[in-house]
Amino acid sequence: MIARTGPADTPYVSNGAVKIARDDQGVLSGIILVVPRDRDKIMKGRRKKFLADIRHQLERQFDRTAAPQQVIDTILDRIDDARIEGIACQTMEVAMFRTGELRIWFDMRFFLGREVHAQAIPPSPEELELAEALPPQAYFFAKDITHLHYHHEPDSDQLLPLTRLQAVATAADHEANELNWRRETLWGLARVVSQYRQRNTLYDFKKVLGMLAYADAFQSTLALVWRKQSLDDLIEPHDRLSRYDFAHTRSSVEAMESLATWKRSGGLQLFAIMAGVVLSSLALWAGAVQIRPMVCPEPIGNGKSVPHCPPVHYMDTASAVVWVTQNPVLFTAIIFLIGFATFVLVFRDVTFIPFGKRLQRALSRLSKAIGTTMSRLVKVDSGLADWLGYLSALSVLGATLSGAVLLAINRNAIGETIAGWISWLLGIAP
């Protein structure tokens, strides 16, 4: 991109009204040069020298050894020489205003380098395809090198589309073009806001608020004015563009952001509590291991340790200590579930628990499906059918949890079953 700043009209808002001022650095205008790679060794060497010459001219500007316009004129002359040498060069004119407005245009003959040879050759299908593909890439390139990415990732800088304008024959055509790209920009901003909202995360809600700030800035300035056919003409007020009321959207997003923040804090509290429960259960297990020799002595006989523990009856302290020392994983899991259930009962909400809302939604859908099915089978009213469906869903959930607990208690059977499955999958004989 080879460009320099220049004066332009810049709209701004003052006391709720749009005003226009002449800004000495209101536009960055110039060209975007595309020099494709070439497999030919000779052309590859010419291309390398051509790019080195351009870098040298730019360094002259940095060293203050040449005036800016002199550097640009020299580079443009060098581009003409490169086209005569057979180097492929595509150039597009670009104007980027301080309002964020970016315009890219080109003449097809100059784009293809035909004016150097003064040949009136119609463009080929490949050249027409190139003319369609390069402007959007030049648009993304210009955006990438001229601004930082605050509300989206650098590798997804395609939030707003590049709107192609039609050839202007009358003043009505020009007005339609000006309305079209502004309308497409507003639609694009609204689509991005909707996409971020649907992700339903705190990070995306923050990005939505940033995009709404962009949308409000656009609606309060560029949506209320338009440029004439020449960029040198003055900007005029224009109010024929239908706009969005983003105030309600912002209020909704702020409410959702507050809810997401609350869920995040609740999830962090849950994590801290569950971590404390696990550590406490491990401490209890360690204490039980230390107490076991006192409640369950192991006398030494014939040089060997002889176990001498009472049978586990689940009714006395000694049996509880023995069971805890023999089942540390199951003991920790039970304590974890007790702490989890206590937390849910106290706060009476599962939405901030990981996958809690999904489980709640799945249970609700299951109960409704079972209720609908049972109402068709027993032919009862909808209220009773809903209760039957809810009880059936709870029965299914209870049976699932009970089965999981029974399998956890009978851990030896689980190990043997899993080992058998693995052996069967690997084709290993038991």
Give the per-residue pLDDT at 336. 75
Asked if residue 241 lies in contact with residue 183, where contact means CB atoms within 8 angstroms, the answer is yes
From 135, 79, 129, 134, select the one nearest 104 (Cα to Cα): 135
- 31 pLDDT exceeds 80? yes
The residues that bridge with 14 in the sheet, in sequence order, are 17
Of the chain, the percentage scoring pLDDT greater than 70 comes to: 68
Can you give the pLDDT at residue 49?
Answer: 92
Indicate the pLDDT class of residue 116, thresholds 50, 70 and 90: very low
Higher pLDDT, 318 or 285: 285
Instruction: Report whether pLDDT(86) > 60.
Output: yes
CA distance 390 to 264: 30
For the chain, the distance separating the N- and C-terminal CA atoms, rounded to the nearest angstrom, is 71
The pLDDT tens digits for 131-188 are: 888 988 898 888 888 877 666 665 555 677 788 888 888 888 888 888 888 888 888 8
Q: What is the mean pLDDT of the chain?
A: 75
**Average pLDDT rounded to a whole number, residues 116-144:** 79
Q: Determine the average pLDDT of the residues in 283-288.
A: 76
Query: How many CB atoms are located within 10 Å of the residue 187 CB?
Result: 13
**Could you report the per-residue pLDDT of 356-413, keeping only the tens digit for each?**
666 667 766 776 676 667 666 766 565 666 676 667 666 766 676 666 666 655 555 5
Q: What is the pLDDT of residue 314?
A: 46
- Greater pLDDT, 210 or 390: 210
